[in-house]
Chains A and B, each alone.
Chain A
Amino acid sequence: MAGSSEQQLVANAAATTVAGNGSRFAVTCGLLRQYMKEHSGSNGGGGFLPAVTAMSLMTGGADAEEEAPEVRKTMELFPQQAGTLKDTQERKEITEKAQLTIFYGGSVVVFDDFPAEKAGELMKLAGSRDSTAAAAVSDAGAAAGQPCLPDMPIARKVSLQRFLEKRKNRIVVAEPLPESEKKEAESSKRAKKDDGGASWLQVNPTLSL
C-alpha cells in the first residue's frame, strides 16, 4: 500500500512538472478562448466553443503535444464562422487573413486564415495580461489565475463514487472477460492509476448538491 501511494506521489509530481511546462501554453489558450467568447457575437454565442473541448485543454496530466492538435481543431472554427458572413464582408475578410503561428511555452500552434484584426487584438490582450498571468502561473504549478478555469471537473460525491467503483468491480466479476481481454483491461486500469493527476480528473469530478 505504502509502495503504491509512493509511486503515485512520484507520478503526481511528474504530472505537475509537465503541467508546469504546459501551463504557459494553457494561459494562451485560455486567453484565446476568452477572447473568442467575447467576440463571437451573434455567430453562435457561448456555444461557439464546445466547453468539453475547452475542458480537455487544461487537464493537469496531459502534456502539451497532446493538446495541440485539439486546439488546432478548435481553431479551425474560424473559417467556418467566417463562412456564415455575408459575401461582401467575407471578401473583405479574406484579404486580411493570414496564417498565424504562436510559439509559447515550448509549443507551436498554427492557425490558418487568422484575421489580421483579431491577431492584433490578440497581441494586445496577450501583452497586457502576460505579466500578471505568467506570474500567477509560475509558482502555482497548474494554471491559477486563469480566466474561467476550465480544468475544474465537476466533483463527485465520495459516497457515490465508492458505490460506483464497487459496482464496476461486480460487473466485471459477473461477466468475466476472456483471459486476454481481462489482462488488457487490468493493465490499462493500472496504467490509469499510475497516471497521477490525470486519473483523478477522470474519476473525480462535481461539487455540488
Chain B
Amino acid sequence: MGGEAPEARRLDRAMSFGGAGSIPEEALHLVLGYVDDPRDREAVSLVCRRWHRIDALTRKHVTVPFCYAASPAHLLARFPRLESLAVKGKPRAAMYGLIPEDWGAYARPWVAELAAPLECLKALHLRRMVVTDDDLAALVRARGHMLQELKLDKCSGFSTDALRLVARSCRSLRTLFLEECSIADNGTEWLHDLAVNNPVLETLNFHMTELTVVPADLELLAKKCKSLISLKISDCDFSDLIGFFRMAASLQEFAGGAFIEQGELTKYGNVKFPSRLCSLGLTYMGTNEMPIIFPFSALLKKLDLQYTFLTTEDHCQLIAKCPNLLVLAVRNVIGDRGLGVVADTCKKLQRLRVERGDDDPGLQEEQGGVSQVGLTTVAVGCRELEYIAAYVSDITNGALESIGTFCKNLCDFRLVLLDREERITDLPLDNGVRALLRGCTKLRRFALYLRPGGLSDTGLGYIGQYSGIIQYMLLGNVGETDDGLIRFALGCENLRKLELRSCCFSEQALARAIRSMPSLRYVWVQGYKASKTGHDLMLMARPFWNIEFTPPSSENANRMREDGEPCVDSQAQILAYYSLAGKRSDCPRSVVPLYPA
C-alpha cells in the first residue's frame, strides 16, 4: 500500500462529480448497496451533492439516537426509502428510575408522520419511548401487511389490546420484541392470536414484563411457528412449559419462565430442552434445579444468571461445565471465586456483565461481591473480552492495568464502585485508568462511576487525553475541581455522548467543557453545583444546541413513578443536544427549555 500513494491519489473527488469520467449512476447505486456501516454512509454523503442524493435514496436503515434531535419530516425528506428505522427516546437514566414518566419521548409524531409515507418500512425499533395503542393501530393500518420487525424496547403506554391487533394483522412478523415494557394487561388473547396468525415468527420477547401467559398458547406457538428460534417470556412455571419445549424444535434461545416451587425436583425433572438450545436464562433457578442444564451446558454460548437464586458455589459448579460461553451475565453473588472459574473455563468469552446484587447482607452468599481479584483473573484468563460491565466492591489500579494489558479487544468497559465498603484498597485510580485507556485502544464506550476521591483531576485529565475513539462516556463521582473537567474536555476529540452524575463541577465549568468538545452532540448531567435558574448554562448556547434544565425542586422529590415508587430526586438535571427539529414543544412542567436569547 505504502508505495502506491500516487495511484490512490487519482481516486480524487473529481470522480464523484457528474460529467465525463464519473462513476455511472447505476454503478454507484449498486456499490453503495454494499455499504452498511452508518459511519461509512455518513462519509459517503459528505463527498458531494450527487453522492449525498444517492446515499439518501439507497439508505436502508437509520438510527435516530435521540427523538428530539431530528424531526420525522426531515427524516422522510432525506431518506424516503428507509426499510428500517430505530428511534431512541428518554435519557438512559430512565432505566434507573431517574426520569419522570411524563417526561416526553412520545412515539406519536414518528408513527403518524412516517408509517404511511415510508413505503418500504419493514422494521421499527423504538427505545424508551411512550407508545400508545392508537400509535400501534396507526402503524398496523399503514404498514401491518409488510411489517417484519417490531421492537418496543423499554417502552410504556400501550396495552395487550394493541398487541392483539398486531398479532392479527402483521402476518409477516418475524420479530416481536417487548422486553422490559410496561404494558397494561387486558388479557392473553394476543399470544393466542399471534400463534394462529404468524407462521413466520422467529423471535418473540416479552421478558421482564408482567404479562400473564397461558402455557397452551406457547405450545400452540411452537406448533405453528416452525422457525421460532428465540423466545423470552415473563414468569411462567417450567412444569407448564414441558409441552412447549417438546414442540419447539428450532429453538436456540430461551429466557424467562419460573421455578415456582423451588426444590421440587420431581416437578421439574421432566423438563427437557430442545437440542439446539445454546442461549439460556432461567428465572428463579435455584441450586436444586440447576442440574437440568448440565446435560447440554457444554453447548451453551450465552448464559444469563442475573435472575436466579444461585449461590457463589452454584455459579462455580455450573460455569465450570460451560467452556463455550461467549456471553455471561450474572449478579455479583458470583464473587471473585466464581470469576476465577470463568477465567479458567470460558476462554472464548466476549461479553461479561456483573450486575449489582442485593445490598441486604444475608441474602447475598459471598460477602464482598466482586473485587480487583476477580477482575484481574478474568482479564488474564479471558483474552477475547470485548465487553466488561461490573459493579465492584473494591478495586485497585493494578486490576485496571491488567485489563489494559490483556484485554486488547475491549470495546466497551463499564465499572461502578459500590458504596458499601468504607475502605477501598487503592484510590485514586488515576494511573490504573490511564493504563487501561492506553492499552484498550478499541474502546468506544467507557463508564466509570466511583466515589469522592476515586479519581483526581489528574486522572480525569488522563481520561480526556487517552479517550481515543471513545464515543460514549458515563462518569460519576470523578474529579475534584472544575479544572479537572476542563482538562478532560480538552482531550475528548471524538466523544459524542456524555453522561455525568454526582460530580462537583460548577455550572459554568460544565458549560465551558461542553463547548470545547468538538464532537459532542448529547450531554446529560445530574448532580453538580446547580444554580437556581441555570443561568450559567447559557454560556454553552449556540445555534441548533437545545438546552433543557430541570431545576432542583422539592416538587420533583415527591413525584411518583407509575408503580408508586418515588421517581426523581431533587437534584437538578441538564440535558443538552444538537437538534435540527428546533424547540421542543412537549416539555413537561418540570423541564425548562433554555434557548439563546
Contact = CB atoms under 8 A, between A and B. Distances in A.
Interface of A: 1, 4-5, 8-9, 12-13, 16, 20, 34, 37, 45-47, 50-55, 60, 135-136, 139-142, 144-150, 152-164, 167-168, 170-171, 174, 196-197, 200, 203-209
Question: Chain A: interface secondary structure?
Answer: helix
A12 to B, nearest CB: 5
B554 A140 contact: yes
6 contacts: A45-B453, A142-B571, A144-B572, A148-B452, A160-B355, A206-B391
A93 B307 CA distance: 57
> Which one of A1, A148, A161 has the highest number of Cβ atoms from chain B below 10 Å of its Cβ?
A148
Contacts of A139: 532, 552-553
B403 to A, nearest CB: 16
A180 B422 CA distance: 34
Contacts of B406: none
B97 interface: yes
Nearest to B356: A156
Contacts of A154: 356, 416, 418-419, 449, 476
Contact of A207 (B355, B357, B427, B501): B501
A156 B447 CA distance: 15
Contacts of B51: none
Contact of A206 (B309, B428, B449, B572): B449
Interface of B: 92-93, 95-98, 180, 208, 262, 283-284, 306-307, 309, 331, 353, 355-360, 363, 389, 391, 414, 416, 418-424, 427-428, 447, 449, 451-454, 456, 474, 476-477, 480, 499, 501-504, 526-532, 552-554, 557-558, 560, 564-566, 569-572
Contacts of A37: 452-453, 480
B95 A158 contact: yes
A8 B452 contact: no
A202 B410 CA distance: 34
Nearest to B209: A159
A206 B570 contact: no
Contacts of A140: 530, 532, 552-554, 570
A149 B558 contact: no
Nearest to B207: A159
A207 B363 CA distance: 22
Given A140-B552, A144-B530, A208-B414, A50 B422 contact: yes
Contacts of B418: 154, 206
Given A145-B530, A152-B527, A164-B358, A52 B428 contact: no
Contact of B566 (A4, A12, A55, A205): A12
Given A51-B453, A142-B554, A207-B96, 20 more contacts: A45-B428, A46-B454, A47-B423, A53-B422, A60-B557, A141-B570, A144-B570, A148-B504, A150-B452, A152-B501, A152-B527, A154-B449, A154-B476, A157-B356, A160-B306, A163-B306, A197-B557, A204-B565, A205-B356, A207-B476
A46 B95 CA distance: 31
A188 to B, nearest CB: 13
A59 to B, nearest CB: 11
A142 to B, nearest CB: 4
Contacts of A9: 558, 560
Nearest to A54: B452
Given A144-B571, A154-B416, A47 B306 contact: no
Q: Chain B's interface: helix, strand, loop or mixed, by majority?
A: loop
Nearest to A149: B527
Contacts, number: 197
Contact of B558 (A16, A34, A52): A16
Contacts of A196: 566
A208 B528 contact: no
A8 B553 contact: no
Nearest to A40: B453
B98 A207 contact: yes
B448 to A, nearest CB: 9
Contacts of A141: 552-554, 557, 570
Given A37-B452, A46-B427, A206-B416, A136 B531 contact: yes
A148 B454 CA distance: 12
A55 B419 contact: yes
A155 to B, nearest CB: 4
Contacts of B389: 209
A53 B451 CA distance: 12
Contacts of B353: 209
A142 B423 CA distance: 27
- Most chain A beta-carbon neighbours within 10 Å: one of B358, B414, B474: B358
A142 B571 CA distance: 8
Given A163-B307, A208-B449, A142 B422 contact: no
A52 B529 contact: no
B454 to A, nearest CB: 7
Contacts of A168: 358, 360, 363
